Amino acid sequence: MPQSAVRLALVASRIRSDEKLLLAAAERQAVPVTVVDSRTLTCALDAGRPEWDLALNREIGYARALYAARGIEAAHGTVVNSARATELCGDKWQTSVALAEAGVATPRTVLALTPEAALDALSEVGYPAVLKPLVGSWGRLVTPVTDEATARLVLEYVSALPHPTSHIVYAQEMVDKRGRDLRVAVIGGRAVAAAHRSGPQWRTNVHLGATTRACALSPELDRLAVDAAAAVGAEIAGVDIVEDADGRPFVLEVNHGFEFTGLQESLGRTLDVAGEIVAHLTERSQAPRGLDARGAAA
């Protein structure tokens, strides 16, 4: 197979199973990839364009992923996902605002600028509710509160945290998701695969022991996932959806650098997620400047 003329970069500080799948898919498609360790990446304003055509940003740390994207874009390079999409996805409140403005169904959400104000906010949301850090992944520090007494104890701890940002409270109504949620992979404006995630606890993160089972998407869920990714400008995204006891779907998060190994294992040989990503990046890098991945005006 002749080698592709497209030159890709994979920006990451750790080569996890997901990145290994991506590198293997690129090799199968004869697409050369330069692995760029984000811990050694520098971005000088006078350095000129990067030597690769497009960078896939797989840095797991939010701040470093955001500034890697900003630095590459400042050098007139192209990065997926964009700095703006990374910024929106990495901050839960900004994600919620973008989803709401696009008319995407989400659980009721409020923001309180102090732990004290959060008690009033929680009374508006109603119990049970969920407190989440503005920035974070893998379900870390996501805390359910079933009543005001529990909320007071949790917020007392929050008020003692050292960083001022930690004192800003993001609260969301708890959806009775019946022990599972849905992770949908959206690539280039298409929902390419989905899986239910079920776990031993109410948090259904694979990192916390949840299992995945591939599933088909209804037209409604397909549209919801695609609309959610579009709302934050993410070309490649893992969209987390919950359905309540009445079957109504709500988007919880849009992940800009989502982990897909669990999803891939559930899919088996029916679809190659990493291969879909590499194919999209190849098409994306060949699109005329000023156009997005679907050929629409950027």
Q: CB of 273 within 8 A of CB of 183?
A: no
Retrieve residue 296's tokens.
């629409």
CA distance 101 to 86: 18
Indicate the pTM of the whole model.
Answer: 0.88
Domain 108-173 CATH class label: alpha beta
CATH no. for 8-89+279-285: 3.40.50.20
Given 3.40.309.10, 3.30.420.310, 3.30.470.20, 1.10.10.10, which CATH number is that of 177-270? Answer: 3.30.470.20
Q: Which pLDDT belongs to residue 46?
A: 84
Q: Which pLDDT belongs to residue 202?
A: 55
For 33-59, the pLDDT digits (tens) are: 999 999 999 988 888 888 899 999 999
Grouping H, G, I as helix, E, B as strand and the rest as coil, residue 177 is: coil
Burial of 95-118, coded b for 16+ CB within 10 Å and e otherwise, reads bbbbbeeeebebbebbbbeebebb
Residue 62 has a CB neighbour count (10 Å cut-off) of 19
Retrieve residue 83's tokens.
């700095």
Domain boundaries, the chain: 8-89+279-285, 108-173, 177-270
Grouping H, G, I as helix, E, B as strand and the rest as coil, residue 298 is: coil
- Judged on CB neighbours under 10 Å (0-12, 13-18, 19+), 287 is middle
Retrieve residue 10's tokens.
């994979």
Do the domains 8-89+279-285 and 108-173 sit in the same CATH topology, yes or no?
no
The ranges of the chain with pLDDT < 50 are 138, 290-298
CA dihedral 47, 16, 213, 241 (to 10 degrees): -40
